[in-house]
Chains A and B, each alone.
Chain A
């Protein structure tokens, strides 16, 4: 009996190690069933979640029902792109009938009566929902420490150290779950770096597609001109497979761009011979750790070896992207979060009249970071300050986008930069807590991409001196995600795979 249980454990732990690409093949060949795969993940989640806190809601029964339906379809020769593949869904996506709270107290008990387009696409392709993933509240954060559900713990630890590290944010739950084998892949969103930075901190692949590629319908809005959905996955192939399912043209989102979704997987293995790759001098920051520079040079060497042409470029307004973002994003957030008022959904704190109810509900329902950003946003949009701050930031944004347009017009097809200025840091790091701007600096390499609406991918490229993962970022032309997948695959092949040591 004991031996059989042990064998079962081994089989289960092998199942969760399969990538989406590998699992897909085995499911189609009927070597494994979706029921087995889903059960393996559910067991892994139940065992790991107390330590990692990646999931905020696990949908056991629903997952099993979906897996059963997938197995039936697979039995009849069904070949949905993600048939039977168990995924985790960031808490920001509306999943009909299930917990959707954007990591916030103010959406207490909210169970939407509608489905987000991105998740509807995944279910239509046969994927299985394991549950909802932890995140920074309303996607505001770079460490998953602002969540109402508490921080997520990074499955990675520094060598010889058992200090709990952040997985990055806001998609910290997504990145941690993928890295710790708690789901085959996860959905995430990125407004200033929230897919790419946590991917870099956890040794996973994350892509933020071009603005307008994925529908924002059913995704709780943070900053409407910056938000984009994208996958976090274990390798480049898996990310390509997921993005193809997630993306669509959606009449329910007026910012959804009318372009067909290409077969991203087909771009993998393509050559980068002759591809012009730009290296921007302004991304070389003062005080940047030497390890980051070394990693960057290594990435350049790998691409050069594969035949790419490396060119030094200038993106002169780079340093203004972060301050401009911290005006534009909070401004848009203050508008988007006005709807959380205790009337139609979520938390209500009673008040003596309606204004008192609004004020008390929002004070109790929003966390500190969200309040900070709503306040900044309200201030910069208020009479007397609108021109000085918001309009100025939007003008700078035009210049930031123009920097990229100029470089692309000169023939550059992709830009290589570091993904983050450091590896994962400790939970409740005192420096970060004391100064809000210090936390914001985590997004210094990623924010430019959202401001310009471009696609960006983070791919694991190495480990730092303490054995923690570091990623490289590739930025592409609008709607040329295939170029990013092709180049990222080259880096991945050269760098290898990075997996945490299981301590949980």
Chain B
């Protein structure tokens, strides 16, 4: 299976990465090289095989449903580019 430049632009939109036409053209070639390489997986007979969900068999860990952290809004916003009163500031979200 190979991708077209339109598919690449659509995927870039999904991945929220801006691509100009030149980028998109280059990426189409690169992505197709990689997809060509992974194509061989279709040779494998996977009938009756479960997809791997956990590489180490283990029971999911649970914890007590209690508050053990928090009260450190200052730490949370410390590295943000734009904040005000412990809110993250962003450009308006257009509907």
**A residues whose Cβ falls under 8 Å from a Cβ of B:** 109-114, 210-212, 225-226, 251, 254-255, 257-258, 317, 319-320, 323-324, 326-327, 334, 338, 341-348, 350-360, 362-363, 366, 371-372, 374-376, 378-379, 382, 385, 388-389, 391-399, 401, 435-437, 440, 451-453, 478
CB-based contact A398/B18 at 8 Å: no
Measured between beta carbons, the chain A residues less than 8 angstroms from B63 are 251
CB-based contact A372/B27 at 8 Å: yes
- The interface size bin for chain B is 35 or more
The dominant DSSP class at the B interface is: loop
CB-based contact A346/B79 at 8 Å: yes
In whole angstroms, how far apart are the Cα atoms of A327 and B34 in the complex?
9
In whole angstroms, how far apart are the Cα atoms of A196 and B44 in the complex?
28
In whole angstroms, how far apart are the Cα atoms of A357 and B92 in the complex?
10
Interface hits, B38-95 → A, CB 8 Å: 38-44, 46, 49-56, 58, 60-61, 63, 72, 75-82, 88, 90-94
A378-B14 in contact given A354-B93, A357-B91, A398-B50 (Cβ < 8 Å) = yes
A360-B18 in contact given A345-B80, A393-B41 (Cβ < 8 Å) = yes
Nearest A residue to B60 by beta-carbon distance? A254
CB-based contact B41/A392 at 8 Å: yes
B17, B54, B77: the one within 8 Å of A363 (CB): B17
A362-B41 in contact given A110-B79, A379-B3 (Cβ < 8 Å) = no
27 A-B residue pairs with Cβ-Cβ distance under 8 Å, sorted by A, are A111-B78, A211-B55, A225-B54, A251-B61, A317-B44, A324-B41, A338-B16, A341-B16, A342-B81, A343-B81, A344-B76, A358-B16, A359-B17, A372-B27, A372-B30, A375-B17, A376-B34, A379-B7, A379-B31, A392-B44, A393-B38, A395-B49, A398-B50, A399-B46, A437-B33, A453-B55, A453-B56
In whole angstroms, how far apart are the Cα atoms of A119 and B37 in the complex?
37
Inter-chain contact total with CB atoms closer than 8 Å: 175
Instruction: Rank and list the top 6 A-B pairs by shortest CB-CB distance, nearest first.
Output: A394-B51, A453-B55, A359-B18, A113-B75, A348-B81, A363-B18
B19, B34, B39, B93, most chain A CB atoms within 10 A: B34
A251, A360, A382: the one within 8 Å of B14 (CB): A382
Minimum Cβ distance to chain B for residue A166 (Å): 20
In whole angstroms, how far apart are the Cα atoms of A323 and B39 in the complex?
8
CB-based contact B38/A327 at 8 Å: yes
CB-based contact A378/B15 at 8 Å: yes
A342, A347, A355, A398: the one within 8 Å of B51 (CB): A398
Nearest A residue to B69 by beta-carbon distance? A252
In whole angstroms, how far apart are the Cα atoms of A109 and B81 in the complex?
10
CB-based contact B82/A437 at 8 Å: no
A388-B15 in contact given A210-B56, A320-B40, A376-B34 (Cβ < 8 Å) = no
